[in-house]
Amino acid sequence: MAMEMEPADVIRLIMQYLKENNLYRTLTTLQEETTVSLNTVESIDSFIADIKSGHWDSVLLAIESLKLPDNTLIDLYEQVVMELIEMREVGAARSLLRQTDPMIMLKQTQPERYIHLENLLTCSYFDPREAYLKGSSKEKRRRAIAEALVREVSVVPPSRLMGLLEQVGSMRQQQFPGHLSPDMAIDTCGNKERHDEKESAPTQLYRHIKVWKIQSGLCLRRFEHAHNKGVTCLSFSKDSNHILSASFDQTIRIHELRSGKTLKELNGHSSFVNDASFTQDGFHIISASSDGSVKIWKTKNCECIHTFKSLSRTSEVPVNNVIPLPQNPEHFVVCNHSNSVVIINMHGQTVKTFSSDRKEGTDFVCCTLSPRGEWIYCVGEDLVLYCFNYTSGRLEKTLTVHEKDVIGIAHHPHENLIATYSEDGLLRLWKP
């Protein structure tokens, strides 16, 4: 199967990648050298709404990398200057009027229109009747600018370059099925493929991270090589500026959302890291691993200050989850591969224990908490959801949630809603 693309389309794919990763200087240089432009915005509706509402900071940021007609840019900047004058933001208006390219161009090509803005700037009051021409108004000008800008932009799906590369890789796999992936080996005796029997991370899990905007469904940020092996969990810092990730590569990493860079790496676990999260104050990180340990780290210098092991009767039982208690920052819920979930404090002491009281085939695989920590929900190998009351310690309810092995569970941050997802390919929502 052949895939043909115009050279300009290839350049646009590269430009989109640069824009999505905030590489604006490289993007601008590429546009200047090739004369190809990438006029895309995240959402046409949001773009229009920002213009009509006068959210000019968002609009100017959105058009920063766009190639627009001179007249359209002049109209836009002229309107921004007039509205800044109206709000008595005279300093900002003066800077835009005298230092931006569209306004300098206006001065050279339409001096009377430019002088009109200078007069508004020096006037001690703002009168819309004097500012706008007869029959015009702020709202009409905004609508006209929105119509002009919308004609110049379009919306495209996010991460098209990476998606295309993945598609090409998949096609190559289909074309050359004899080529082996790195986790496979050849049995020279039987002349057949075989997988290594040693413990390894599932190869279908991706090593990169994507951050999505819920309202628009657009990809805001992509961390290409977040880890060397599959990512097991993600969590945001309290200020939403950083993302914490853990992986089958036995590490925990802190990524900065704005720059898209990996800032820190925490090493110390000897097996897969299954869960990690910031404490409520952001000063510490707690992690759970298949090596049977829970670790507490200092966020500032990545130093491990506590390691707790033997949380169950059997040593080195994998720990699936560790979750800070909302009502007590010093306590954590620890779910390991057993039929019990425990609450421990910062010193590793067990405060409470919750048990399913069932024996075989009921070991917990994952757990989550209600937003206020009043309920603990655990899913067992028997595909049953166990609901514990934190205060009384009692098992209040059980419910079979899937037909195949459950992968994970999550609670909505504000609503009384639980999501479970499974190897049966289903994500199910439950109302407790």
- Listed in sequence order, the residues at least 6 apart from 142 whose beta carbon sits closer than 8 Å to its beta carbon are 51, 52, 54, 79
Phi/psi of residue 155, nearest 5 degrees? -115, 135
Which tokens hold the place of 429?
């929502």
Predicted structure pTM score: 0.53
Q: Is the pLDDT of residue 274 over 80?
A: yes
Between the alpha carbon of residue 362 and those of residues 102, 223, 366, 420, the distances in Å are 68, 37, 12, 17
At 28, which helix (H) or strand (E)? Answer: helix 24-34
200 has pLDDT over 60: no
Q: Coil, strand or helix: which one is 152?
A: coil
User: Whose structure tokens read 């080529």?
Assistant: 179
Q: Report the largest interatomic distance among the alpha carbons of the chain, rounded to a whole angstrom.
A: 92
**Non-local CB neighbours of 30 within 8 Å, separated by 6+ positions:** 11, 14, 15, 18, 36
Q: How sure is the predictor about 260, in pLDDT bands with cuts at 50, 70 and 90?
A: confident
**Residue % of the chain over a pLDDT of 70:** 81
φ/ψ bin of 361: left (φ > 0), alpha (ψ from -120 to 50), beta (otherwise):
left
Q: Range with the lowest mean pLDDT among 76-80, 93-97, 201-205, 268-272? A: 201-205
For the chain, the first-to-last Cα distance in angstroms comes to: 50
Percent over 90 (pLDDT), the chain: 43
| Low-confidence winner among 158-162, 177-181, 303-307, 356-360 (lowest mean pLDDT) | 177-181
Rounded distance, CA 97 to CA 78, Å? 8
- List, as one string, the DSSP characters of 37-100: ---B-S-HHHHHHHHHHT-HHHHHHHTTT----HHHHHHHHHHHHHHHHHTT-HHHHHHHHHHS
DSSP H helices, 157-311, are: 160-175
Residue listed under structure tokens 């670790």:
295
Give the span between the Cα atoms of 338 and 327, in whole angstroms.
25
